[in-house]
Structure formats: C-alpha cells, structure tokens
Amino acid sequence: MEDDPIREFLVEGSEHLDELDRSFVALEQNPTDKVLLGAIFRSVHTVKGTAGFLGFAKLEALTHAGETLLVKVRAGELELDVEMASLLLRMLDAVRAMFAQVEATGTDGDDDHIELAAALLAVAHPDAPARTSIFAAARASIAAAARISIAAGARVSMPAAARVPFQVVAPPPPAPAPPPTVEPSQPLADDVGGAKASALADSTIRVDVALLDRVMNLVGELVLARNRILQFGTRVNDAGFANASQRLNLLTTELQEGVMKTRMQPIGSVWSRFPRVVRDLAHTCGKKIELDLDGADTELDRTIIDAIKDPLTHAVRNAVDHGIETPERRRAAGKPEVGRLLLRAFHEGGQVNIEVSDDGGGLDLGRIRARALERGLVTSERAARMSDREVSHLIFEPGFSTAEKVTNVSGRGVGMDVVKTNIEKIGGTVDLSSELGRGTTLKVKIPLTLAIIPALIVTAATERFAIPQVSLLELVRLEGEQAQRGIERVHGTTVYRLRGNLLPIVFLDRELELVKEPRAHDVVNIVVLQAEDRQFGLVVDGINDTEEIVVKPLGKELKGMTTFAGATIMGDGRVALILDVLGIAHRSKVVVPGRERTAADGAAATRAAAEPKEALLVLEVGASTRMAIPLAMVARLEEIALADVEQSGGRQVVQYRGAILPLVALDRAVGAEPALPSEGPLQVVVYSEQGRSVGFIVSRILDVVEDVVKICVGTEREGVLGMAVVQGKVTELLDVQGVLMRDEPGFFRRAA
C-alpha cells in the first residue's frame, strides 16, 4: 500500500511536467500572459507541495526555487527572459530525473541539483550584492524548506526517518494543502481557478493502463468466441439459436468498438513534447522556427502511439537540423527569417495520416544522387534511370547522409532509415515530397489499430493463411485457358498482365516451401497486393472469406520470421498464420529491400543484383588498343583478303554480298596507335542499320563476353563513348554513331 500515493504522485506529476513544458515555451512567446503564469505557478506549486508531503526534500527544494522565481514573474517584478526560461526548463528536466529516481528507488536520489536551484534563486534576486551571499542565501532557503540542517559542504541527504511511512486511507487530493512547514507565505490567489479545474476533471476518470489492456484482451477473446458461435450457427438450423447468436454478434461488435475507443489516445499526447524539442533544437542550431500543430486530437491506438513517438521525433529533429536553413540563408533566399514547421494529422482512407512539412531548402536531388553513387548505393545506370521520387527515397538508405557537417543533433542520417523501418514495422508507409528551395514534406500513413483487423483468408497447400485487408488491392480469378496461359515468364520473371501492366507473380505455396514442384491448376487465384509502392500478385490455391481476426503476436522464438506478421485463432479453434505482405515481397525479391545494399558491398553487390548484363564484342584496334562494341550492333564478322579491297572516291570499299561495303579503319577513326601493316586478311566487323552496312576494320577479335557496362570515365576522344572495365581490363567503348557521322556521313544520308 505504500506505493500507491507515490505512483499517483509520479503519474500526475508527469502530466504536470508535460503541461509545463508546453506552457514554458508558450510563455516565452508571451512573457506577460497572466493566465498562463497562473497555470504554471499552480502546477509547480502542486508538485512542490506533494513532494514535500511525501518527504522528497530535494524535489521540494528545487521546485521551491523555481516557484520563487515564478512568484516574482507573476507579480510583475521580473520579466521572463531567455535565461529564465532556460533555467525553468532545466528545472523540469531535473524534476523528471528525480521522478525517475523515485520510481526506481523510492527516494528522490542523491543529486540535489543545488547549482540549478541556486541559479534560479540568483535570477530571482537580481540585485543581491555578491554571488557568494546569494549562494549562501540559496542554501539557507533550501535548508529551511527541507527542514534539515546542513553541515557546511555536506550534501543534502534524506534520513530514513524523515520519509513518511504510509497508511493512507485515500490518495492525496490533486492539489493538497501545502504542508505546514516551508513557505515564505504565498497567498494562493488562484484557488478559484483550482476549483474550476477540478470540475472539469470530474467528467473523466483515470484508469490503469494494465486494466485497459486486460479488458481489451478479453474483448479479443470474446470476438473469437463470437466467431465460433457464428460458425456453429451455420450448421445448426434453430431459429432461436440464430437469433441469440445474432444478438451476441451485434453486442460484441459494439463492445469491441467501445473498448477500442478507450485505447485511443489523441496524437497530441506525442506532439506535446515537440514545442520544447523544437525550441531547444532551434536554439542549438541557431535557427528561428515556428511550430504549428494541426489535428492534435486525431486519435490513434495506444500501441501505435508508442511506436511512432521516436520516428516522429526524429523526423522533426531532422527537419529542424537539416531541413530549415539558418536565418541568414533564408534572408538571402528571400524567405522570411522564421522557418515554419507544420505537423498535421488526420484520418483518411481507414488510416491515420501524419505529415511533417517544413519550408526549408528542400531535397537537392542532384546531391542525393551524387552521394548515393559515392557510397555505392546505386550504379550510375540505375541512378540515371531513377525517378525523382526514387532518388528522394535514397535518403532512407542506411548509412546515407548529405549533411555537410554531421551534427550530434540528428546524427549521421542513420535516423531516416530507422524512421522508415519503425513505421513499416507497424504496417505503415512513408513517403517524401520536396521542392528544391521551397521545402519538404514527410508523409506517414499508419493503420488505425493493430489489435483487430479485417483479413482475407486464403489457402495454399491445404494450409490457411490470413492476409491483412489493408494490403489487398483486388482479386483475380483465371479459369480454363486463361489459367494455363495467363501467367507468363518475361525476362526471367513470372508476371501476369493486369490491364496492360506487368504484375510480378509470387506463388505462395512455393514461396513458403510447402510444395516441391509447381503444379498445374484448373483455376488460378491471384491476390493483388500492395507492398511499399509496388504491386504484386500472390497466387493461392483457394480464397475463403474476409473475416475480422484478432492479431496475436508470435512468440520470441519466431521473431525472426519476416514472412509472418502474427497469428490468429480461426473460428474452428485452429491457429492460422498472418502473412506479412512486405516480408513476402522482400523474400521473393519483388521488392528489393533497401537495407541489403550496404556501402561496404559497393560494386560487387550492385553487380550481383539483377543488373542486366550486356553481350559485348571485345576487339583489338590498332597496335594495342582494347575496345568493345555491343554484340547487338554486330551484324557479322568477316575476314576480307587485302586483294579484294578497292578504292572508290577516296575510300576503301569491298564488294560484299552483291553490294558495295564501305570500310572504316577503326584505328584511324579513334586515333589509336596504328598496327603494323600485315599481309594477312582484314578482320572486319560489319555493322548494319536499315539495310545499309559498313565494315569496321580491326586488328583482332578478342572475345565475346557478358558483362555489366558501367562507364567509369568519360572521354573527349572522338569515336569513343568512354572507358569501362570489361573482363577486368580497361576497355574503350566504341561510339559507332560518332565514328559513322564523321567518317561515313553518307551512311545516314542515303535514303532507305
């Protein structure tokens, strides 16, 4: 029984602290707001009083110091400035630390925060003559408050006897009468305000969270039992039973909705800490930022609120640190000095949307692309082919950071990767939109609740699985001939043409290794699913109903399974696994998980990824120049006797297949060191286009290889596209068009 009043104190105290965080920041904007000051004073006074009542002398002393300062500000004797606000905020932090001590050890700890208290008192008495006497005055004041005589230099400690042992009949009221000791007399001028506040408090009650969880669990079980009854109902032909089970169904649904509401909390409870975070951060970074919160009353399930606290905080810190520019840069860009940060939350499409927008510099896609190339996160070709959106999403890759200075404020950009992972872990999505110079918006979508979700039940190899409906786009059924031929293989991938688009296909039974060989079916069921921003089709054996299922987490032993998000108990009492759509997409490589590309793997990893390899013809040109030309461009390889080469109009030609084939000596065309003249036949690579042909004279054909063509170094050399590494050696890529344009311009002019 000793714990209850203390727990009560901690819970209420924490609420006071959160409120005070917000209030102090607001007070900085309006230093003379009387109403605000009154509320602040009341809160601090309450914490101090209860702390004293419970015997936490250090806590009482510190808050007393803060209260002393506040009294003066409230009375108009002092005006709140930045230093005072900072001290008061530090006091809140110290009080929080002491709360943590109380929670852990039952005492307010060893740290008496004497310097902080002294600083508060010093600021409250600005015209006191000497620092040392202020310090002494501070100690004396605190000692008086603590009612413990302090030997000079000794730390304030709490003898056990002073802690009040508890046989409390009722928990202390929210605003206890101050203990008869302590005070410099302060009239509680705000008693009236206190009474009004308690009237409001009567329409709500405080409920232990553990109790709520238990009730929620029970309702979950009730839902399962209801499902079973409904199942029996389909087998029993009794009107009375049917009626009763219908009634049960209705009541259960309403009860479920009601209980889910009790777990809903407004997102404002997460946001409440942001004004303070943004204020502190802006000060540290030397920026001016105004924070707007829109939709603080949007409700989310408690478990989700816990999960998004950290990612959102990080996104906000990122916007302050990297997004919004310094006042100087903003001025130079013609923007108002004060940057704006907007947090919005709203319900839409069965999900909760949260947006973090800043009017900062926006994402520099060019720099992001360059940095990703540097870090080996993408190949140059991939980078060239990426859409703007894909490039902006590169900032979610682990190890990515384009910040000029890595600050210890938001870290190495590792945070954005964690933001995305954490949001996805709860079944949400993140998206970025940005305009260079104007700002960036981070959009987060998360499900309303994790506990009870609608799901589609499917079967694969006689096993049942549940697919969360939130990922479900549509169902496709192929019969007869369509079932045989509808699913095609294109470029080594299995796909289905859905209204003109190629949909990657995953066979659930094969993916889960439930069958050894593929089997033919008369009917093919495709469940079209959404994972991140990609769609794919999951082929299942059968499709059952959509049901509301209770999500039960998998045990610790199974935490590593990426393909399953949890399990549920079906109407017949058997367990069914819930598919993790994103996990399946990753495993089947339909969606390439970003995390697998680490900077360390670099070129090797990108090579191993499904980068298309090109077939190349590798040649020796001139004396020793190594060149390559895509095999696709080669019509034929010929050997031509020197004697057959004729001169015509200043060019070398040969009669070839009934036509005249112009010849181009590649070594001259690309300025390579010419080979020694030989008697042997000429090696000619014939290039044809639209019925016209030209023969490139080379020294030797070296090889035909398949390799990824990655142009490492551009070049100014005529006739050469660039240099690449082919077969481990530096090879120049022939610029066929360029050579032709220069040496055989007629090639292009002649009509087809």
Partner 1 sequence: MNGIHSTAPRQLCTFELGDMLFGIDVQNVQEVLRYQEMTTVPLASSVIRGLINLRGQIVTAIDMRARLALPPRGGEEPPMNVVVRTADGVMSLLVDEIGDVLDLDATTFEHAPETMTPAVRELVVGVFKLEGRLLLLLHPERIAAGGSTVQRPEEQS
Contact positions vs partner 1 (CB under 8 A): 221, 224, 463, 512-514, 552, 554-558, 560-564, 567-569, 573-577, 587, 589, 608-610
* Shortest CB 577 distance to partner 1, Å: 7
DSSP-derived pairing of the beta strands 339-348 and 289-294: parallel
Under a CB-based contact definition with an 8 Å cutoff, are residues 31 and 23 in contact? no
* Shortest CB 575 distance to partner 1, Å: 4
Q: In terms of CB distance, is 416 or 576 closer to partner 1?
A: 576
* Shortest CB 614 distance to partner 1, Å: 19
- Residue 487 contacts by C-beta under 8 Å, 6 or more apart in sequence? 478, 494, 495, 496, 505, 524, 539
φ, ψ of residue 480 to 5 degrees: the values are 55, -125
* Shortest CB 528 distance to partner 1, Å: 22
Q: In terms of CB distance, is 485 or 559 closer to partner 1?
A: 559
Q: In terms of CB distance, is 334 or 560 closer to partner 1?
A: 560
Query: What is the H or E stretch that residue 663 is in?
Result: strand 659-665
Query: What is the H or E stretch that residue 454 is in?
Result: strand 452-460
Q: In terms of CB distance, is 258 or 573 closer to partner 1?
A: 573
Q: In terms of CB distance, is 575 or 635 closer to partner 1?
A: 575
φ, ψ of residue 513 to 5 degrees: the values are 55, 40
Angle at 524 between CA 521 and CA 526, to 5 degrees: 150
* Shortest CB 560 distance to partner 1, Å: 4
Cβ atoms < 10 Å from Cβ of 434: 24
Q: In terms of CB distance, is 345 or 506 closer to partner 1?
A: 506
* Shortest CB 519 distance to partner 1, Å: 17
Q: In terms of CB distance, is 406 or 610 closer to partner 1?
A: 610
Under a CB-based contact definition with an 8 Å cutoff, are residues 694 and 740 in contact? yes
> Which tokens belong to 475?
């169902």
* Shortest CB 548 distance to partner 1, Å: 16
Helix, strand, or coil here: 114? helix
Q: How far apart are CA 191 and CA 603, in angstroms?
A: 71
Residue with tokens 């009917």: 523
What are the contacts of 484-487 at 24+ separation with CB within 8 A? 484/520, 486/524, 487/524, 487/539
* Shortest CB 376 distance to partner 1, Å: 17
* Shortest CB 562 distance to partner 1, Å: 7
Residue with tokens 């509680």: 188
Helix axis angle for 274-285 and 302-318, nearest 10°, is 20
Q: In terms of CB distance, is 146 or 377 closer to partner 1?
A: 377
* Shortest CB 554 distance to partner 1, Å: 7
Under a CB-based contact definition with an 8 Å cutoff, are residues 523 and 482 in contact? no
> Which tokens belong to 281?
């951060």
> Which tokens belong to 365?
């896609």
Q: Tell me 713's DSSP state.
A: B
Q: In terms of CB distance, is 409 or 514 closer to partner 1?
A: 514
Q: In terms of CB distance, is 98 or 576 closer to partner 1?
A: 576
Residue with tokens 């969360």: 468
665, β-bridge pairs? 697
Number of residues in the chain:
752
- Residue 308 contacts by C-beta under 8 Å, 6 or more apart in sequence? 270, 300, 354, 422, 423, 426, 428, 444, 446
659, β-bridge pairs? 656
* Shortest CB 569 distance to partner 1, Å: 5
* Shortest CB 609 distance to partner 1, Å: 7
Cβ atoms < 10 Å from Cβ of 670: 20
Q: How far apart are CA 81 and CA 121, in angstroms?
A: 15
Q: Tell me 558's DSSP state.
A: G
φ, ψ of residue 429 to 5 degrees: the values are -130, 150
Q: In terms of CB distance, is 438 or 519 closer to partner 1?
A: 519
* Shortest CB 552 distance to partner 1, Å: 5
Q: In terms of CB distance, is 489 or 749 closer to partner 1?
A: 489
* Shortest CB 544 distance to partner 1, Å: 15
Q: How far apart are CA 407 and CA 176, in angstroms?
A: 45
* Shortest CB 610 distance to partner 1, Å: 8
Q: In terms of CB distance, is 236 or 575 closer to partner 1?
A: 575
Q: In terms of CB distance, is 26 or 554 closer to partner 1?
A: 554
Burial class (CB in 10 A: 0-12, 13-18, 19+), 159: exposed
Buried b (16+ CB within 10 A) or exposed e, 472-487: beeebebeeeebeebb
Under a CB-based contact definition with an 8 Å cutoff, are residues 146 and 58 in contact? yes
Angle at 353 between CA 348 and CA 358, to 5 degrees: 135
